[in-house]
Amino acid sequence: MTEIEQIRQKLKELGDKKKAEIVKKYMKSPYDFYGIKVPELRKIAKGINLEFYDALNLFDELWNSRNHEEMGLGLYLIHKYRKKYGLEIWKFLMERIEKAKTWDHIDELGMHTIGEIVAENLGLVSEIKKMSESGNPWMRRLSIVSNYPLIKKNKIDLTFRLAEVLIYDDNEYVQKGAGWMLREAGKKQRIAVRDFILRHLNMKPVAFSYAIEKMKELREERKKFESKNEPYFVIIRGPAGVGKTTIAKKLGERLNADVVSIDNILEVLGLDKVEGECISEKNFLKANKHAIPSIKKILKEGGIIILEGNFYHKTQLDNLLKNLKHKNLVFTLKAGLDECIKRDKTRKELGEEGIKAVHSLVSKFDYGIVLNTDNKSEEEVINDILFCLKK
């Protein structure tokens, strides 16, 4: 018999059909199961002795089998070669990793093979950051769980950087992974992790629950934070290309807030016609009039609103603040003209002349808290805004 035939025969002998049904349902896996305990799979993997490239071929047979335990066995097998062939295994796995559909396979990769390769090859950190932005939630979970070997070495900066976003993720498995890694980091640097959690008391409940498992006292801090919350609105203004739309969207996700785009209202109502050098003040006030009733309703119900737009007419801002009498903060985001032109090229919306015109109009006055976004990431700007909101 071939190697794979011998393995499958062994797996069938160890299998338990009743257990297989239970575990498949629990794991919510699209793959088939034998019903075998993990220690047995590790034992089988340990007994397989192949040259590296033969092991890769066997991995492919196991990984493409659409059987959960066979796939897991492949992961335990390839882990044996990661010290000598780390970067080669990284490339090999990155071409196949999308087939991972359950948290146990993701965590095996993150805590061991992938995480250990990254810990020994820090040049791959940029790839982990990209992974954290994937549209696939399993890849986002992998990005944070792969910090485990780094955490064991008392290196937690990357954990903080990724967790700043992933503790607000919409996917529960990603939230759990982020909270779990914060808990592990807390075993190494308790004070730093505690301070991080206190800055993010509004993180998703599941992430918070995992993160504070060894810091139960922070439950009271979250209760105090939630009890202090009252309806408020935030205005984010700035020139085209400064990043205000993306920042408003991400901030809205963090705060569970409704985001209102003045530009969208202008467009929907047909008020976005340029008269002279810009859209008229009259049209902006009409957009306000349209938006205010809905905003008042949300604020009355205890919600949070984020309004974003160019706001290059001061009267428009004054009008909003006069009619919306709730607690508020206005932020003016600034960036150099060249930087705005550079950023807008990726969208190709206004063109260079349009960017110049809007930049000039917005720059005629500052309003509220001024934040310079040059040389800052979106996350850094968001954290600046959150810091101001907590004062």
3-state secondary structure of 135: coil
373 shares a domain with 251: yes
Phi and psi (nearest 5°) for 274? -80, 125
How many domains does the chain fold into? 2
238 shares a domain with 215: no
**Segment holding 305, helix H or strand E:** strand 304-309
367 shares a domain with 273: yes
165 shares a domain with 122: yes
Q: In this predicted model, what pLDDT tens digit does every residue of 174-221 receive, in sequence order?
A: 999 999 999 999 999 999 999 999 989 889 999 999 999 999 999 999
Q: In this predicted model, what pLDDT tens digit does every residue of 139-162 receive, in sequence order?
A: 999 999 999 999 999 999 999 999
C-alpha–C-alpha distance, residues 293 and 291, integer Å: 6
Contact 86, 62 (CB under 8 A): no
Q: What is the CA radius of gyration of the chain?
A: 26
The CA-atom distances, in angstroms, between 270 and each of 136, 285, 288 are 37, 13, 14
Q: What is the model's pTM?
A: 0.71
- Among 269, 270, 263, residue whose Cα is nearest residue 248: 263
38 shares a domain with 182: yes
Strand duo 369-372 + 278-279: pairing: unpaired
187 shares a domain with 245: no
243 shares a domain with 217: no
119 shares a domain with 262: no
238 shares a domain with 143: no
Tokens of residue 32, six digits: 């088939």
376 shares a domain with 237: yes
3-state secondary structure of 29: coil
Segments forming the whole domain that contains residue 117: 3-221
3-state secondary structure of 168: coil
Angle at 310 between CA 304 and CA 312, to 5 degrees: 120
258 shares a domain with 112: no
C-alpha–C-alpha distance, residues 208 and 196, integer Å: 11
- Among 116, 137, 128, 27, residue whose Cα is nearest residue 72: 27
Q: From first to last of its 391 residues, what are the pLDDT tens digits of the chain? A: 899 999 999 999 999 999 999 999 999 899 999 999 999 999 999 999 999 999 999 999 999 999 999 999 999 999 999 999 999 999 999 999 999 999 999 999 999 999 999 999 999 999 999 999 999 999 999 999 999 999 999 999 999 999 999 999 989 999 999 999 999 999 999 999 999 999 898 899 999 999 999 999 999 998 887 776 689 999 999 998 899 999 999 999 888 899 999 989 999 999 988 888 889 999 999 999 999 999 999 998 888 999 999 999 999 999 999 999 898 999 999 999 888 888 766 555 667 888 898 899 999 999 999 999 988 888 899 989 988 887 6
159 shares a domain with 267: no
Contact 181, 163 (CB under 8 A): yes
